[in-house]
Amino acid sequence: MSSSKPIVSNRTIQKVAKQAELTASYLVFMAMSGILAAVALLTNSVPILIGSMVIAPALPPLELISLAVVAKKPRLALKGLVAACLGFLVAMLLAMMTTWLLNTTNVIPPETNLIDKELLAERVRPGWYSVIAAIAAGISGAIALVKQKTDTLVGVVAALALVPAIGAAGIAFLSKNSVMGFGGLLLLVINVGFIIISGVLTLIVMRPEQRK
């Protein structure tokens, strides 16, 4: 009788697509988050680690993927995936570069075991705590985007599950510990997957609340 209402409004999709654009500022913020994550993991500093999560714009590209999936727009999903992958790559490379620089300038003594750190060890072993954080990030992110609550800090929850893992992986690879390095990457992949999936499911459940 009447055409079915789309799960996601075009206005919401356009807004998130703009937030997830691959811009110089996005890459700079991801680079800075990688630097801060490296310093935090090497010094076991929780405040600095929180700082790395606050500035990381890691959520919009992943939420764009969720929106694109439910809206059946594969090109937008690809756009979000490319932005996310490049952002994570930049963060990891800057984490590695920061670690190398601190090591070669003797700020961190060369003989120091870089991966024998409590905060770092927690970020290279996938566990249920990270899965729960990723699910929370996906749900809260989807709700915030649909409700247009851009003043919230839900992105920090996403960064909690993402930035430390990629930073830890970079440091582990630099230390030639491929097991821990791939552990960090696996944790990142698991978290990204759960953020996207929980975002998709949340958007589907919220369908009656969508506006044109």
- Judge whether 28 lies within some domain: yes
Per the CB < 8 A criterion, the answer to whether 79 and 19 are in contact is no
CB atoms within 10 A of CB 29: 18
- Judge whether 21 lies within some domain: yes
Q: Which two tokens stand for residue 47?
A: 């405040």
- Judge whether 5 lies within some domain: no
> Half-sphere exposure of residue 75, counting CA atoms within 13 Å on the CB side?
1
* pLDDT tens for the 212 residues of the chain, in order: 444 555 667 777 788 888 888 999 999 999 999 999 999 998 888 889 888 888 888 888 988 998 899 888 899 999 999 999 999 999 999 999 999 999 888 888 766 777 788 778 878 877 777 778 777 777 777 777 666 655 455 556 666 668 888 999 999 998 889 999 999 899 899 888 888 888 888 888 876 455 44
Q: Provide the domain count of the chain.
A: 1
- Judge whether 68 lies within some domain: yes
- Judge whether 159 lies within some domain: yes
User: Taking each helix axis from N to C terminus, what angle separates 46-55 and 24-43, rounded to the nearest 10 degrees?
Assistant: 170
Distance CA 31, CA 89 (A): 9
Distance CA 169, CA 92 (A): 7
Range of the domain at 147: 10-209
Q: In this structure, what CATH number is given to the domain that contains residue 61?
A: 1.20.1080
Calculate the CA dihedral of residues 102, 103, 109, 113 and round it to 10 degrees. Answer: 110
- Judge whether 3 lies within some domain: no
- Judge whether 158 lies within some domain: yes
CB atoms within 10 A of CB 153: 11
- Judge whether 203 lies within some domain: yes
Distance CA 68, CA 27 (A): 22
